[in-house]
Structure 1
Amino acid sequence: MARLAFRRPSMERFRRQLASVDAMPQLCLLGIFAGVLTGGVMVALRLLLQLGALFLMPGDDPEAFEALPPLARALMPLIAVALIGLWLWPQPRRTLRMGIGHVIERLAYHQGKMPFRNWLNQWWVGVISVIGGLSAGREGPAVHLGSAASSWIGTRLRLPHNSLRVLVGCGTAAAISASFNTPIAGVIFAMEVVIMEYTIAGFMPVILASTMGALVSWAVYGSEPAFSVPPLELSSLRDLPWIVLTALIIGVMAGVFVRLAKGHALVARLPFALRLLMIGSVTGAIAWFYPEVQGIGYDSLAQTLNAPMALDTLLVLAVIKLSLTALCLAGGIQVGVIGPLLVSGAAAGAVMGMMGGAWLPSIVTTPDLYAVLGMAAMMAAALQAPLAALLALLELTRNAAIMLPGMLAVVVAVLTARQFCGCQGFFMSTLNQLGQHPLQQPLMQALSRVAVPAVMERNLVRTPRLIDHDRARSLLGSKPTWLVIVDDNRNKPPLAMKAASLARVLDDEAWLAEHERIDLEEVPGERLDLAPVPLQATLSEAFDTLNESGVDALYVEHMTAPMIRKISGIITREAIENYYRRKR
């Protein structure tokens, strides 16, 4: 009986499969691993916050700043900035970039490769900023830590760079999913804010990663959302004008926040130590009277959504907490922003609902609803991520009845921040401040989905420049498409020549009689100057290399042993252009 033949799993074959745009099963497998790893990282981050609370906070609660004596909670931000400064001060400036903005930068310009030192710094800054009482969230650090851990899988396995990009998206989605218990919002956040494109091949592994991240979080902390939201619904369409006004105000607040977070030139010129002292002093002074501004603020958010709060406290949460978060960012501490945005947005919405209920009770019929709408509107406007905010609203409330007013509030807030305040989104504004612009062009997006092994011509042979007739016939025996002419002294880059050009002169008896030895640089035919590109590179990297080096073709190389490099293929500008035309 004939036996079924199964090919033995091979990492080299797995890498070649990942190089293609259609490698969905392989990417889904990576998505599962990335989701589990990121879920574990998120659990570790929360455990570190709980460990810090065990020593510092009453009731072992990392949010219990209100239960501390005024002097203690006022001194904690000063101690926190001192610890952060001592850790970061001796390090190069490039290692101070952290958070979601750093993830987008590395995705856009470094194909998703994450520096290890920045990753370590994110652990320190993420934990100290929250436990130390700065106005900071945990979601930004979680996304950086999860994305970098997922990218590490691909880097460790030497996977093509197009798969690294997907792994970064997987880590982002799993981090948001595990943080809030919102797997759908995690997927949309990753696609809308970080990857900035929607493709089937990209969606599937990100969905799996988000699911696995949520499952890991559920296994440890349960399936409840990060904070409870009461059942609410829009009881009358008469509320719509006040909802629009609320969204307009929140959109302006979001735009101002983004501008403040970018920092003024005067702040940037201050010494780093002075900036840290300013952050710690201002935060401590306000925390003396209003400890609600410290930490993430999910306890205050839950109270805002479920019970009445004093008007002065709501105003402090809406305005001062948002400003303190912007001050941290402008001063050089890359804290998480999503948590503080949700808290401030909910407080601003609650203030508008309270005012509307008092002044216009016949119009504002459901004042409690405005806090929930404000939360989604602030997140959407500041991040310019309307879909992610709407799905977060749906998953956090588990109430489809508020989606209609939520959509109205989100759209108005996003348009207000974008048109009246020139807000491109917090993370995009941060990148532009650094003089960088993410790759959003359709050409680069398409070319980034595929690695060079999927397009390169593998049928080639290497040869020295000078060969005899027998060696020439031997080279053509394997019927190669390209000859790669290598300088024996390595003083010149390789050249590429079509093997057909050599075949023509071998059929010319008169030409062979005149040339006892064949100089391949003298053979009639077109020769292409070559520049190197690594085997893991995407087509967008190859295209950039072609433009920067001024050549028309690249030789693809990879290391087979220490200090030994092998030429695996040839990729021409024409091959890249033909691929793009076929896939449009």
Structure 2
Amino acid sequence: MARFSRSSFSLENFRQQLANVDALPQLCVLGLVSGVITGALMVGFRLLLETGAALYMPENNPEAFEALSPWLRALLPMLAVSLVGVFLYRQKATARKLGVGHVIERLTYHQGRFPLRNWLNQWWVGVVSVLGGLSAGREGPAIHLGAAASSGLGLKLRLPNNSLRVLVACGTAAGISASFNTPIAGVIFAMEVVMMEYTLMSFMPVILASTMGALVAQLVYGNAPAFSIPEVALGSFFNLPWIVVMGLMIGILAGLFIHISRSQWIQQQPLWLRLGAVGLLTGLSAWFFPQVQGIGYDSVAAALNNQLTVSVLLALVAIKLVLTSLTVAGGIPIGIIGPVLVIGAAMGTLCGLVGVWLWPDKAADPSIFAMLGMAAMMGAVLQAPLAALMALLELTHTPNIMLPGMLAVVVACLTSRHLTGCEGFFISSLRYGLHPLQQPLMQALSRVSVPAVMERSFVRTERMITAEEARKLLETNPVWLIIERSTQEKPVLALRAAELARWLMERDASEGAANDPQEIIDLVEIPGQRLEMAPIALQATLSEAFIRLQNNALGALYVVHGYRPKQRRISGIITRGAIERYYHYTDPRSTDGQDAKSLDHVPLLRMTAANALP
């Protein structure tokens, strides 16, 4: 019977396993833990909203703005923007980045590491924006809080950076799942919008995280669907052309939403003017139409049950769209998915009412168009059709709506993308050229940490050694010699051990050679190619090593292990050839030693995305 030592289950061994691309069991364990943590945080965030609503909202309902006096609901937005201006904008610009866009940015450019200050700011900004009556959702705070907490777990355990990427996706999925009771939509959103890739190694941990997040939330709030939907059916296929027309109109609305949100003219205005305009316009709109405040899920429920007047529907389409996009452009970090669903539901209901007026005998119930409008608007704004369809299914629990839903979502996505020239909301906020998360090569290299491919067979030596010491260095058959320099200003060098062995053999075979074991050898002067090296952390991914080697005139990197300056040690060497061999298949029967050696000197510029499809 096989025995397992305690070291087999050590944290260090767990880290080493996570460095590889096939560490699925370990990632699944992390997904489970991440889901529980994120689910608990989302319950805490919703309780915080309810606690704040208990101060002035009827029945402790954070969305009961209609029951407030006109003066109070008009003043709340001004108070909210004042708090944001005073307490958020006094901080550094980097501390003001919150929400889904911040999550994607940290995943793209910072290996999924999140600043603590931004995470703390997200708590109170999320509460103030929702309870202050701004047109804002809670999914932005949910995703940021969950992703950052999950990443923080990985940092606390000092896990490799490739596992931090998966933890960010786990936190994102669990945050969506726990907030809206939509576990499948949470998974698809994390992969489609945040990770921007679909891989088996990411899917399973994210599914487990989303499941645990939903279970934790259901233990507190139950498992009832978000909306109560009447029994309806599409009826005649005559409705399909009208659904296409609705998709076109919603796609144009989505493009308008993104254009206003990204307006450079608005963003260049003084801060006091932007915040004042948001507060004033929101308060003025709330005086007449309180439905435009907050997330608006109560308005969605009313629209699905045909309980809203035409004037309110028009206000939700026009006013809420302008208010939400203006709030984003004004610099207030809010969640947009909730308001986007409300706008889509209202627009869909209006299209349904027009259909009933034009074709009373064949037109479907307006509530069907409301459901389709929700998915179409979400899909078009985010350019995430699968996430929108899964959200439609889980929010409404109406499977027979999927066929027309696919038609509406695709038409709206195509219209927004090609007719209005808008890409996904979060991509458009980050992209200058090709987004790094959309590059297949960078995706492939980000899935693995450097310990998985680094060369561990090496010895460290000083520059000046005797012939006897040189032979002792070669007794263990190392692949590399790491030549340490006299000062830190001089770069560390790497020399292949074979070069030293060849030089010693030639020296011994030469006529008249003095076979003095104490002869001093200068390892920098003997024939052979030496690689200048720079340090890289053990937790780094191959994508980090790739960029480091690409941007610097370096031949290799030495991997540093240890977290305290005096305890750091070198764990291995990673070369250009090692990175290439990771994603280039080479038949060993057709590759001799000289070819393998030459890979270490091939420029990385010839690595194209076509060679690295995941």
TM-score (norm 1): 0.97
Of the three residues 575, 578, 585, the one matched with 1:575 is 578
- Residue identity matched to 2:451: P
The answer to whether the 8 Å contact 2:225/2:397 transfers is: no
Aligned equivalents of 2:312, 2:292: Cα separation in 1: 9
Query: 549, 565, 570: which is aligned to 2:568?
Result: 565
Which stretches of structure 1, 4 residues or longer, exceed 6 Å deviation after superposition?
none
Distance 1:256 1:264 in 2: 14
Alignment of 1:99 with 2:96, yes or no, is no
**What is the aligned length?**
581
Q: CA deviation at 1:95?
A: 1.4
The equivalent of 1:439 in structure 2 is 437
**Alignment partners' CA distance in 2, 1:354 and 1:34:** 44
- Is the CA contact (8 Å cut-off) linking 1:235 and 1:366 kept in structure 2? no
Q: Which residue type is aligned with residue 347 of structure 1?
A: A
Q: Which moved more, 1:190-199 or 1:394-403?
A: 394-403
- Give 3-state SS (helix, strand or coil) of 2:558's partner: strand
| Counterparts of residues 327-346 of structure 1 (less than 5 Å) | 327-346=326-345
Q: In the alignment, which residue of structure 2 is the partner of 1:537?
A: 540
For 1:364, the aligned partner's letter is A
Q: Which residue of 2 aligns with 1:174?
A: 174
The partner residue of 1:527 within 521, 527, 530 is 530
SS in 2 for 1:551: coil
Question: Is 2:303–2:349's contact at 8 Å kept on the other side of the alignment?
Answer: yes
Q: Could you say what the CA RMSD is over the residues aligned between the two structures, in angstroms? A: 1.6
* Counterpart position of 1:309: 308
Q: Is contact 1:373-1:405 (8 Å) kept?
A: yes
Task: State the match for 2:599 in structure 1.
Answer: none
Q: What do the CA deviations read for 1:279-301 (whole angstroms, capped 9, x no partner)?
A: 10100000011110110011111
Contact kept, 8 Å, 2:42 with 2:178, in 1: the verdict is yes
* Distance in 2 of aligned mates of 1:12 and 1:3: 21
The answer (yes or no) to whether the contact 2:436–2:442 under 8 Å persists in 1 is no
1:35-93 CA-partner distances (Å, limit 9, x unpaired) = 11111111111011001101121111111100100000000000011111111121111
Identity %: 60
Could you tell which deviates more after superposition, 463-472 or 200-209?
463-472
How much has 1:560 moved relative to structure 2?
4.9
Equivalent residue number for residue 357 of structure 2: 358
Q: C-alpha displacement at 1:240, in angstroms? A: 0.8
Paired with 1:561 and 1:194, the residues of 2 have a C-alpha distance of: 33
Inter-partner Cα distance in structure 1 for 2:563 and 2:291: 58
Which amino acid letter does the alignment assign opposite residue 418 of structure 1?
R
| CA gap 1:290/1:446 in 2 versus in 1, 3 angstroms | same
Question: Larger deviation: 541-550 or 268-277?
Answer: 268-277
Aligned residues of 2:352 and 2:364 also touching (Cα < 8 A): no
Say which is worse superposed, 413-422 or 501-510, in terms of deviation. 501-510
Q: Could you tell me how far 1:365 is from its partner in structure 2?
A: 3.2
Which residue is 2:551 aligned to?
548
Q: How does 1:417-428 map to 2 (within 5 A)?
A: 417-428=416-427
Please give the alpha-carbon distance, in whole angstroms, between the structure 1 residues aligned to 2:293 and 2:581: 56
- 1:441-471: CA deviation from partner (whole Å, max 9, x where unpaired): 1111100100000000011111110011222
In 1, the alpha carbon distance for the partners of 2:58 and 2:396 equals 29
Alpha carbons of structure 1 residues 27 and 362: separation in structure 2 relative to 1, 3 Å: same
Amino acid at match of 1:449: R
Q: Quick one: which amino acid aligns to residue 410 of structure 1?
A: V
What is residue 257 of structure 2 aligned with on the other side?
257
Q: How does 1:327-406 map to 2 (within 5 A)?
A: 327-406=326-405
TM superposition shift of 1:228 = 2.5
In structure 1, the residue matched to 2:212 is 212
Please say if 1:474 is aligned against 2:477: no
8 A Cα contact 1:505 1:512, kept in partner: no
The 3-state SS of whatever aligns with 1:432 is: coil
Query: How far did 1:361 drift?
Result: 1.6
How far off is 1:309 after superposition?
1.0
Residue of structure 2 equivalent to 1:183 = 183
**Structure 1: distance between partners of 2:434 and 2:109:** 9
Contact 2:303 2:367 in 1 (8 A): no
Give the match for residue 450 of structure 1: 448
Aligned to 2:589: none
For residues 211-250 of structure 1, the aligned pairs below 5 Å read 211-250=211-250
Residue 502 of structure 1: how far off its partner (Å): 1.7
SS at structure 1 position matched to 2:494: strand
Q: Greater CA deviation, 513-522 or 126-135?
A: 513-522
What is the Cα deviation at residue 160 of structure 1?
A: 0.7
**What is the CA-CA distance between 1:227 and the residue it aligns to?**
2.6
What SS does structure 2 have at the residue aligned with 1:477?
helix
Counterpart in the other structure of 2:114: 114
Q: Establish whether residue 45 from structure 1 lines up as the match of residue 48 from structure 2.
A: no
Q: Sort the Cα spacing of 1:10 and 1:409 in 2 relative to 1 into closer, same or farther, 3 A.
A: same
SS at structure 1 position matched to 2:535: strand
Secondary structure of the 2:233 match is coil
Q: Is the 8 A contact 1:230 1:397 kept in 2?
A: no
Give the whole-Å Cα distance in 1 for the aligned partners of 2:385 and 2:563. 47
Q: Deviations over 1:500-542 (max 9, x none)?
A: 2222233332466488201001122221111221111100110
Structure 2 counterpart of 1:81, one-letter code: V
Distance 1:264 1:524, change over 3 A: closer
Q: CA deviation at 1:571?
A: 0.5
User: What amino acid does structure 2 have at the position aligned with 1:80?
Assistant: A
- Residue 233 of structure 1 aligns to a residue whose secondary structure is coil
How far apart are the structure 1 equivalents of 2:419 and 2:430? 21
Q: Which moved more, 1:497-506 or 1:511-520?
A: 511-520
Measure, in 1, the Cα distance between the counterparts of 2:314 and 2:436. Answer: 36
Out of 489, 492, 502, the residue aligned to residue 490 of structure 2 is 492
Alignment-derived partner of residue 607 in structure 2? none
Structure 1, unpaired ranges of 5+: none
- Secondary structure of the 2:533 match is strand
CA distance 1:521–1:21, shift in 2 (3 Å): same
* Offset at residue 315 of structure 1 (A): 0.6
Structure 1 stretch 500-509 or stretch 325-334: which is displaced more? 500-509
Note closer, same or farther for the CA distance 1:328–1:6 as it changes in structure 2 (3 Å cut).
same
TM-score when scaled to structure 2?
0.92
Equivalent residues of 1:35, 1:170 under 8 A apart: yes
Contact in 2 for aligned 1:496/1:530 (Cα 8 Å): yes
Q: Which residue of 1 aligns with 2:463?
A: 465
Shift of 1:11: 1.4
Q: Distance in 2 between matches of 1:12 and 1:505?
A: 39
Relative to structure 1, is the Cα distance of residues 361 and 3 closer, same or farther in structure 2, using a 3 angstrom cutoff? Answer: closer
What is the SS of the residue equivalent to 2:430? Answer: helix
For the residues of structure 2 that align with 1:175 and 1:512, how far apart are their CA atoms? 73
Residue identity matched to 1:82: S
**Relative to 1, partners in 2 of residues 1:497 and 1:279: Cα closer, same or farther, differing over 3 Å?**
same
CA contact (8 A) 2:195 2:437 kept: no
TM-superposed CA distance for 1:438, in Å, is 3.5
Partner of 2:79: 79
Paired with 1:544 and 1:439, the residues of 2 have a C-alpha distance of 14
SS, match of residue 431 in structure 1? coil
Aligned to 1:57: 57
Displacement of 1:360 after TM fit?
2.3
Letter in 1 for 2:418: Q
8 A contact 1:242–1:364 mirrored in 2: no
Query: Which stretch of structure 1 is more off in the superposition, 488-497 or 47-56?
Result: 488-497
Which SS does the other structure have where 1:192 is aligned?
Answer: helix
Q: SS of the residue aligned with 1:27?
A: helix
Residue by residue, what CA displacement relative to the aligned partner does 1:239-292 show, whole Å, maximum 9, x if unpaired?
111111111101100010011111232x22222122111110100000011110
- Pick which of 446-455 and 477-486 moved more: 477-486
Q: Shift of residue 414 of structure 1?
A: 0.5
Contact 2:306 2:366 in 1 (8 A): no
1:21 corresponding residue in structure 2: 21
1:548 Cα deviation after fit: 0.9
Q: How far off its partner does 1:7 sit?
A: 4.1
Structure 1 residues 468 and 191, CA gap change in structure 2 (3 angstroms): same
Q: Quote the residue 2:278 is aligned against.
A: 279
